[in-house]
Structure 1
Amino acid sequence: MNDMRLRDRRNPGAPIIPRDGWDLPPWNRWTNQHVREMTATAPIWRGDGPVRPLPESLQPLGDIMVDFREGKRSVDEFLKESSTDGFLVLHRGRIIFERYMNELAPHKQHLIHSATKSFIGTLAGIVEDKGLLDVKEPVIEYLPELAATAFRGATVQQLLDMTGGVFFDESRNQDSHLQKLYLANGWHDHNRPDWPRTVWDLILTLNIAARPHGASFHYCNITTTVLGCLLERASGLSLADLMSQEIWAPMGAGEDAYITVDHAGLAAAAGGMCATLRDLGRFAMLLLEGGSRDGRQIIPHSWIRGTRSGGVELSGSSRQSLPNGAYHNQWWIEDTRRGTLWARGQDGQIVFIDPDAEFVAVKLSSLPNDENYTQRRLDERPALLAIRATLSTT
């Protein structure tokens, strides 16, 4: 299929993007930058304050050679081969590398998929610091309706650390829970009248336990979805307004962000946020700098420190890609020895933060789901570490 026709679908004769599967390859090369045209969204307002400046000191990082498992390649080659839409590197508070591809531009928002989860975890830390949430409490303390579901007995912290025990089928099988979630959150046409109409309705059907709560790490999208509901209940605000009030406006975002919502207006906490490359960099810098800007503590410093130093042990493929990693507060800990934070999305979306090295990298991509998908995801880490190593010597 001609890639230009995918990007310029308004031309006569261009293929019609299907309502079911618009978020998947090959359509994601276009739709990741045009989510508002595919499903309902809520704005995350940047506020009316000044934009945080990002000074530049550009360097030719594209020439850095990286030792990948299959051989050496340059950073430029890595970016091209991993379907990159945008790539940003900040070091010591300055932009030193910025690349836009596939028609992405500085003002354009891009879907970040599961990297959204790390924003939800950060919001939980802020709401807890305000005294509106106690993560040691049971989930049903805030959402008593879930007492009749398998979430009964789980604590908020267990959901934050992905150690909940609720059975949720994440496969792409025709009748899986994940497929029900796509319909319930409004991403796909709701063509199954016997399935839940909203995400909340879906949550209320989950009454089977797969394992005891807190027993082990198990990455699960519905876990973050419930956290989104919980944050709305605890704060009294929609997730979009909460994000605007507590993070996006005070950090000095350059553009509004937005997040997809279901038929009842509930935000897709597990993977529906869209933002610009530079604003993701601003968020990363806020964390790197201890959560404060212009004398205001936006994200609790103790929460950042605790997130970097804590975490539950990974398992399976997660352990393979992050051999010294962990998971805590909806963040991947890339290396527990350094406390490096990593937000990750399924199409190759990355927010990587190493405060000790004063290093931030943001990558927005639209990966194809082909036989090389897993290797492309494994290549992300050595590329970032090679860039960081080069900068540490300058």
Structure 2
Amino acid sequence: MRITHYAVAVALALSLPAAAAAAASAETVDVPRPSAAAAETADVLKPSAHPVKLRSAPRKLSVTYTYQGQEHTLDDFLTRTRTNGFLVLDGQDIVAERYTGASRDTRFQSWSMAKSFTATAVGIALREKHIRSIDDPVDKYLPELTGSGYAGVSIRELLRMSSGIDWDEATDAPRLQAAANKGYSISKMAARQKRGWEPGARFEYTSMNSFVLARLITKTTGMPYHDYVERKIWRPAGMESTATVGNDSHGDSLGYCCYYATDRDFARFGLLYLHGGKANGRQVVPASWVKLSTKPSPANPHYGLHWWLGEGGDFMAAGLGGQYIYVSPQQGVVIVKSSIAGGAPDQEEALIAFRAVAAEVARTR
């Protein structure tokens, strides 16, 4: 089943790494520049028949934090970053939930938070032996990549964003999304990528890596990426509402972006990781994969396998313009922040603010 969304902000990067702060002018994707209003098609994820229950248990949270020598309040942070949805879980209790220009039924665009879903699908496919090892070269499973910059590159290095592909997220990711909106085959674009440096030698945030991983899921499991996500993650994790996942209209899910879901279901995904991969008493994601995904990579101590990492065991999925799923295992807290229009990059400040919220939740139990 497919529906149509209208993509916006294709002239922006799809994630918030510090390296993407400045845009370059070089063209590196050989496709015409489509209109920003081009249609993006999407596939449907059906919800669980037994959603994970979230209990409404609001309480007052008095949150302040210091960033760059200045004291801020949570309200100030949410206002400055144009936040439309904000939800805080203490375990399965909703202790804070607010919306501005949106509601609990709004399906927010995930942008690069989708990458964490894609990595989760890889972990499940590995458990089910569709993938023998993440140290296998990706072109072993995707022969169309033989001869490209991805030839011989391990799945692990794609997950770590250390694939060695010649890529500049600030300029290449917007063109990638524009091409998808226009209906170009992203699979064919992946096969044209060039090697820029030795795989594993350094961290380079690359949305194309996540697309290739989504394509890997389709090829190895024998079912479309969105079907696999629905059957192995969305429904087993107890999601309450229908969601959609963007594709390139050639049958390939994007994988690097474009989940449209409610904040409560994004929170359930965070809860899945908070509980070591379990939902409704069932092991949905291998506990070993949750642990491996949130372990620092050699090339970047603040990045795991498609998750951004803090220094105290906390971690988060992050997307363009201020989309976050934050998980604090130490405090037992999950935080979701969503923005429709998006504000300035704020990932460093967001981590500090979320830690202050988690500490306040723990203090007020």
Post-superposition Cα deviations, 1:43-79, rounded to whole Å, max 9, x if no partner, equal 01114x1221101221122x42222326223211211
Q: Residue in 1 aligned with 2:185?
A: 198
Select the residue among 114, 129, 132 that pairs with 1:131: 129
**Do residues 235 (structure 1) and 221 (structure 2) align?**
yes
**TM-score relative to the length of structure 1:** 0.80
C-alpha distance in 1 between matches for 2:188 and 2:73: 48
Please tell me the residue identity of whatever aligns with 2:314. Answer: T
Q: Residue in 2 aligned with 1:58?
A: 58
C-alpha distance in 2 between matches for 1:299 and 1:51: 17
**Do residues 272 (structure 1) and 258 (structure 2) align?**
yes
Structure 1: gaps of 5 or more residues: 1-18, 26-34, 191-196, 315-324
C-alpha distance in 2 between matches for 1:242 and 1:364: 25
Q: Cα RMSD (Å) of the superposition?
A: 2.2
Q: Residue in 2 aligned with 1:45?
A: 46
Q: Residue in 1 aligned with 2:363?
A: 393
1:197-216 to structure 2, matched below 5 A, reads: 197-206=184-193, 208-216=194-202
Structure whose CA Rg is larger: 1
Q: Residue in 1 aligned with 2:97?
A: 98
Q: Residue in 1 aligned with 2:334?
A: 360
Please tell me the residue identity of whatever aligns with 1:204. Answer: A
Post-superposition Cα deviations, 1:214-249, rounded to whole Å, max 9, x if no partner, equal 111111111111111111101111111111001111
Residue 303 of structure 1, CA deviation: 1.0
Q: Residue in 1 aligned with 2:117?
A: 119
**Do residues 183 (structure 1) and 181 (structure 2) align?**
no
C-alpha distance in 2 between matches for 1:168 and 1:24: 16
1:346-357 to structure 2, matched below 5 A, reads: 346-357=320-331
Gap change, CA 1:37 and 1:214, over 3 Å in 2: closer
Post-superposition Cα deviations, 1:159-205, rounded to whole Å, max 9, x if no partner, equal 01111011124343xxxx4354123312xx46xxxxxx310111121
Identity %: 26
Post-superposition Cα deviations, 1:348-370, rounded to whole Å, max 9, x if no partner, equal 0001111121011110014556x
Please tell me the residue identity of whatever aligns with 1:299. Answer: V
**Do residues 150 (structure 1) and 137 (structure 2) align?**
no
Gap change, CA 1:36 and 1:24, over 3 Å in 2: closer
User: What stretches of structure 1 move > 6 A for 4+ residues in a row?
Assistant: none
C-alpha distance in 1 between matches for 2:268 and 2:89: 10
Report if aligned partners of 1:311, 1:333 keep a CA contact under 8 Å in 2.
no
C-alpha distance in 1 between matches for 2:216 and 2:245: 17
Select the residue among 220, 230, 234 that pairs with 1:244: 230
Q: Tell me the SS of whatever aligns to 2:40.
A: coil
Residue 37 of structure 1, CA deviation: 10
1:322-341 to structure 2, matched below 5 A, reads: 325-335=301-311, 338-341=312-315
Post-superposition Cα deviations, 1:291-341, rounded to whole Å, max 9, x if no partner, equal 122332100011112223342342xxxxxxxxxx52121111122xx3212
Gap change, CA 1:381 and 1:367, over 3 Å in 2: farther
Report how many residues are paired: 335
Q: Residue in 2 aligned with 1:344?
A: 318
Higher relative contact order (CA 8 A, sep 6+): 2
Gap change, CA 1:87 and 1:299, over 3 Å in 2: same
C-alpha distance in 2 between matches for 1:100 and 1:37: 28
Report if aligned partners of 1:184, 1:263 keep a CA contact under 8 Å in 2.
no
Post-superposition Cα deviations, 1:104-127, rounded to whole Å, max 9, x if no partner, equal 211221101011001111111111
Residue 92 of structure 1, CA deviation: 3.0
Gap change, CA 1:111 and 1:326, over 3 Å in 2: same
Post-superposition Cα deviations, 1:262-282, rounded to whole Å, max 9, x if no partner, equal 120211111111110000111
Please tell me the residue identity of whatever aligns with 2:280. Answer: D
Gap change, CA 1:267 and 1:91, over 3 Å in 2: same
C-alpha distance in 2 between matches for 1:76 and 1:226: 39
Report if aligned partners of 1:224, 1:270 keep a CA contact under 8 Å in 2.
yes
Q: Tell me the SS of whatever aligns to 2:114.
A: helix
Report if aligned partners of 1:86, 1:363 keep a CA contact under 8 Å in 2.
yes
Please tell me the residue identity of whatever aligns with 1:56. Answer: S
C-alpha distance in 1 between matches for 2:8 and 2:274: 36
Residue 24 of structure 1, CA deviation: 6.0
C-alpha distance in 1 between matches for 2:72 and 2:175: 41
Residue 86 of structure 1, CA deviation: 0.4
Structure 2: gaps of 5 or more residues: 1-5, 13-35
Gap change, CA 1:169 and 1:309, over 3 Å in 2: closer
1:162-181 to structure 2, matched below 5 A, reads: 162-172=161-171, 177-181=172-176
Report if aligned partners of 1:122, 1:329 keep a CA contact under 8 Å in 2.
no
Gap change, CA 1:387 and 1:94, over 3 Å in 2: same
C-alpha distance in 2 between matches for 1:76 and 1:128: 42
Residue 23 of structure 1, CA deviation: 4.9
Report if aligned partners of 2:8, 2:37 keep a CA contact under 8 Å in 1.
no
